[in-house]
Amino acid sequence: MGGHHAASGAAAWVAVTASTPIAFGWYPVTDVGIMTGAVVCAGAALLPDADHHSGTIANSLSPVSDAVVKVVETVSGGHRKGTHSIVGVVVFTVIAWLVGMLAIDTGLEGDLKTILIGPGIVCVLLVAFALKALKITRDTKILPWTASISMAVLIAIFAPSEWYWMPFSVALGCVVHILGDFITTQGVPLLWPIRIRSPRWVRANKKLPFDDMWRYGGNFAFPILGSAGSKREWILMTPVSLYAIVGVAWAALDQMGFDTMSVWNAVVGSIGDMVTTWA
């Protein structure tokens, strides 16, 4: 579901970029990058669904989002086709990289000498997608624009160097989305535009698991969650969503100067003492 795609994108961003004990820190960014990137990656995790004219993001930033979705839907061949493939991830990432190079020379000194407007444009769209999926902006017309543009402007002015992670954020969000759909019943066309239909013997033998994993239309799946929106999906995504919230809150506290590690060590120590006592 749209909200869960967004939450998984934010959680993946925290896990990969944060350097706290609850994350991997494979692609470390600043605390500002963790907070803003989580929202942007949440929006990027909805990008593959830009192939659906009635999907979550179609009306997230009207009339721009409507136009974008119509183009993507036409080029990709419809829902769960081109945008849900390896090719789709590459194309979205390249577009983010190319647009990210758009800049304006202000003639000023310091960090404001060059303002990267390209990442700002991408940020506006992705933030709007995330806010819509998380039901923060609902069906309002003004709030999506003001919230998205405000975040883009704040980053451009106060932390312009943060934009370097934009293409990576788009790539990570798209990959997480595809993995999410991969573990549902419908699956994804990973090799699009190549479509390899499952052979007849696979479809005929219902006792084998291959029929669920290799669909007749060429989609591949590992449907451990069942259909989208199932109880299993909610069971999995509730802790994932909480993890994303904790990761962003941790970065915010660090940015404000709180000694979060002391609190963490105290909590871990207390848990360790309780385990020892029970043992």
Q: How does residue 156 score in pLDDT terms, banded at 50, 70 and 90? A: low
Q: What is the largest CA-CA distance in the chain?
A: 70
Angle separating helix axes 117-133 and 143-158, nearest 10 degrees:
140
User: Which residue from 45, 81, 78 is spatially nearest to 179, judged by alpha carbons?
Assistant: 45
pLDDT beyond 60 at 179:
yes
Answer for the pair 44, 170: CB distance below 8 angstroms, yes or no: yes
pLDDT beyond 60 at 142:
yes
Answer for the pair 173, 45: CB distance below 8 angstroms, yes or no: yes
If 0-12 CB within 10 Å is exposed, 13-18 middle and 19+ buried, where does residue 54 land? exposed
pLDDT beyond 60 at 211:
no
Q: Which residues contact 164 (CB under 8 A, 6 or more apart)?
A: none
Q: Of 153 and 222, which is predicted with more confidence? A: 222
CA distance 165 to 19: 16
User: Which residue from 118, 143, 174, 153 is spatially nearest to 62, judged by alpha carbons?
Assistant: 143
User: Which residue from 115, 71, 90 is spatially nearest to 191, judged by alpha carbons?
Assistant: 90
Q: How does residue 212 score in pLDDT terms, banded at 50, 70 and 90? A: confident
If 0-12 CB within 10 Å is exposed, 13-18 middle and 19+ buried, where does residue 181 land? buried
Which stretches within the chain are classed as H helix? 2-17, 31-44, 64-76, 86-99, 117-133, 143-158, 166-182, 200-204, 210-213, 231-255, 260-278
Q: How does residue 237 score in pLDDT terms, banded at 50, 70 and 90? A: very high
Q: Which residues contact 53 (CB under 8 A, 6 or more apart)?
A: 66, 69, 70, 73
Q: Of 67 and 250, which is predicted with more confidence? A: 250
Model confidence pLDDT, tens digit, residues 14-54:
999 999 999 999 999 989 889 989 989 999 999 998 887 76
Q: How does residue 75 score in pLDDT terms, banded at 50, 70 and 90? A: confident
Q: How does residue 230 score in pLDDT terms, banded at 50, 70 and 90? A: confident
pLDDT beyond 90 at 213:
no
Mean pLDDT of 151-167: 73
